[in-house]
Amino acid sequence: MAMEIRYSNVSADYQLGPIRTKNVLDDVNLFVKPSSFTAIVGQTGAGKSSLLKVMNGLIRPKQGEVKIGKYSVSSNNDPTSLKEVRKRIGMVFQFPESQLFAETVEKDICFGPLNFGVGLSEAKEMAKTAIYQVGLDASFLPKSPFSLSGGQKRRVAIAGILAMKPDILILDEPGAGLDPTGKQEILSLIASWNKNNKLTTLMVTHEMDDVAKFAEDVIVMEKGKIIFHDDVRTFFADLNQIQSWNLDIPEARRFQLLIEEKTGVSLPKICLTVEELADCLIEVGLA
Amino acid sequence: MVLDSTNPIIEVKDVSFRYDLRNSAETLSSINFSVQKGEWVAIIGNNGSGKSTLAGILLGLYKPQFGSVTIAGYELNEETKWEIRKRMGIVFQNPDNQFIGSTVEDDVAFGLENLNMPYEQMKMRVYEALHMVDMYDYRHADPTRLSGGQKQRVAIAGLLALQPEILLLDEAFVMLDPKSRKDLLKTLQKLKSRHQLTIISITHDMNEAASSDRIIVLKNGTISSIGTPKEVFSKELDFEAPFTEKLRRILQMKGRNVPNTYMSEEEMVEWLWK
């Protein structure tokens, strides 16, 4: 079931005992459409990861409330009620492969479902489905997760999340550290789950090319606040604004601007991918 | 031994390595290359091609079964590895693997404390290093509670404070936002030209690799090509190419009359302009 996500006036910090730190989220209001694919961008330390962590109660808001479907996360709800929310939200952390721990891939993937009260045989079924979903096959199930390559480990870690059949998938830099091919594969898989299973997806990334290629909507964060939230074309249209946020533009767009500046020829539209740029160059007769 | 300026600062001769001697497959086999002082060499290759293993060998973390490694005039072995590590530092991919201090400045100072550096000098070095990565404002923060990219910058500062002759970056920029990445690359370029810093960067970012002096391509544990970015990208067709090369290949596929070799951005614009 697709669920909508709504943040109302959410503030949060990393409280450590009595010591309060600066707000990592500062009065955030946000509405995420069910089944959408949203990229979250911003400088390091802007609060991107924190925005995701608040959603499943890993950081409790100091003020305000996050509504996920009928569930709610706020400072005064009972921590045990968070279990229901966490069942619905699959969270993939930075370097998720560091969470692998079991002797076999199968046990690792089953761990989540078993903890949420699923029977063993059903959990094994779920593991089998999940391993195919991440582009691996059943021959990996009896292997030790530690014998796999970096890209395979990451897929197993993500399979562990998918096995819980979440309604919302949140990913914190899922491509970091993978080779370009491995990265494109993982991101294409994520995009296909979003499309085929209507899985609401939020992804933190620094790669504007990936934003251009996969996301529908973009959230820009700065110093704990959301300063932009709109669709991806609108986001990339205003170059000055993007530069004022110290963000990058996709390679294709950057190169387009360089060509336009040097040749004085302006291309018919804003190009976000290399294919679009090639077509435009041919159209205006430059190539 | 006196380091002759014509001698390479790093020389790897016929190195082979496998993690498990029971395995017949070698993680690295017959690796040969050398790096000159002040050179920036990028090592690229897919996951599992042996890049990080090679970094481990250069640091003396793994001992190759065959071959020799000579760094700054020392042949790498158990006796010389400490001498070499004074001159060479590494930043790993995941910065969580290398935090020790309870505050950012303690962490950056850790390496210097180990060298018994006088307090005043140490303070200066920490100050400079934190400014270089733009993390000075966070000097009293707990490094484990910073964001991913901030952690990575602190890890890099810890290394810059040591003022090494050779900098080994094992995908050290993956979690940085594009602006911090560009700023850091610029800082490193400056250090390279000013202090003849030698940089070896293991990377998946082809645009970063394109700005290096030379590229080494690893495939299944062997060097499949080595040369300037231009030479390498024209030859290695099954690789994720830098942007201009992708564009060139698409235009070629669409039947356009483009030159047959890799072009840098300037050359590409020049050609489009013709």
Do B45 and B157 have their domain in common? yes
CB contact under 8 A, A278 and B254: yes
Do B254 and B235 have their domain in common? no
B58 within domain boundaries: yes
B152 within domain boundaries: yes
pLDDT at residue B52 greater than cutoff 80: yes
Do B203 and B268 have their domain in common? no
- The CATH number assigned to the domain holding B123 equals 3.40.50.300
B1 within domain boundaries: no
Q: Could you tell me the residue ranges of all domains in chain A?
A: 5-249, 250-287
pLDDT tens, residue by residue, A273-287: 899 999 999 998 887
Do B45 and B176 have their domain in common? yes
Q: How far apart are CA B261 and CA B228, in angstroms?
A: 13
B236 within domain boundaries: yes
Position B47 scores a pLDDT of: 76
pLDDT tens, residue by residue, A22-74: 788 999 999 999 999 999 999 888 899 899 999 988 888 989 999 998 888 88
CB contact under 8 A, A246 and B240: no
Partner A, chain B 162-201, Cβ-Cβ below 8 Å = 171, 174-181
B41 within domain boundaries: yes
Q: How many domains does chain B divide into?
A: 2
| CB contacts, 8 Å: B204 with chain A | 177-180, 183
Helix (H) or strand (E) run with residue B246 in it: helix B243-253
Least confident residue range of A120-134, A160-174, B79-93: B79-93
B149 — contact with chain A (CB < 8 Å)?
yes
SS in 3 state form for chain A? Answer: CCCCEEEEEEEECCCECCECCCCCEEEEEEEECCCCEEEEEECCCCCHHHHHHHHCCCCCCCEEEEEECCEEEECCCCHHHHHHHHHHEEEECCCHHHHCCCCCHHHHHHHHHHHCCCCHHHHHHHHHHHHHHCCCCHHHCCCCHHHCCHHHHHHHHHHHHHCCCCCEEEEECCCCCCCHHHHHHHHHHHHHHHHHHCCEEEEECCCHHHHHHHCCEEEEEECCEEEEEEEHHHHHHCHHHHHHCCCCCCHHHHHHHHHHHHHCCCCCCCCCCHHHHHHHHHHCCCC
Q: How far apart are CA B212 and CA B199, in angstroms?
A: 9
| CB contacts, 8 Å: B177 with chain A | 41-44, 206, 246-247
Do B188 and B221 have their domain in common? yes
Position A39 scores a pLDDT of: 96
Under 8 Å between Cβ of A5 and A31: yes
Complex prediction ipTM: 0.70
B31 within domain boundaries: yes
Position A2 scores a pLDDT of: 67
Under 8 Å between Cβ of B213 and B41: yes
| CB contacts, 8 Å: B46 with chain A | 179, 181-182
Residue A141 phi, psi (nearest 5) = -60, -45
Fold for the domain defined by A5-249: Rossmann fold (3.40.50)
| CB contacts, 8 Å: A151 with chain B | 47-48
Token pair 């993937």 is at which residue?
A109
Position A17 scores a pLDDT of: 67
pLDDT tens, residue by residue, B68-85: 999 999 999 999 988 898
Do B228 and B269 have their domain in common? no
CB contact under 8 A, B240 and A282: no
B2 within domain boundaries: no
pLDDT tens, residue by residue, A136-148: 999 999 999 988 8
Position A119 scores a pLDDT of: 92
Closest in B94, B149, B256 to A282, CB measured = B256
Do B130 and B102 have their domain in common? yes
Do B33 and B127 have their domain in common? yes
Do B184 and B272 have their domain in common? no
B20 — contact with chain A (CB < 8 Å)?
no
Do B57 and B102 have their domain in common? yes
Domain with B120 in it: 10-240
B45 band by pLDDT with thresholds 50, 70 and 90: confident
Closest in B47, B176, B268 to A44, CB measured = B176
| CB contacts, 8 Å: A262 with chain B | 269, 273
Do B184 and B252 have their domain in common? no
Position B2 scores a pLDDT of: 47
Position A194 scores a pLDDT of: 92
Position A19 scores a pLDDT of: 67
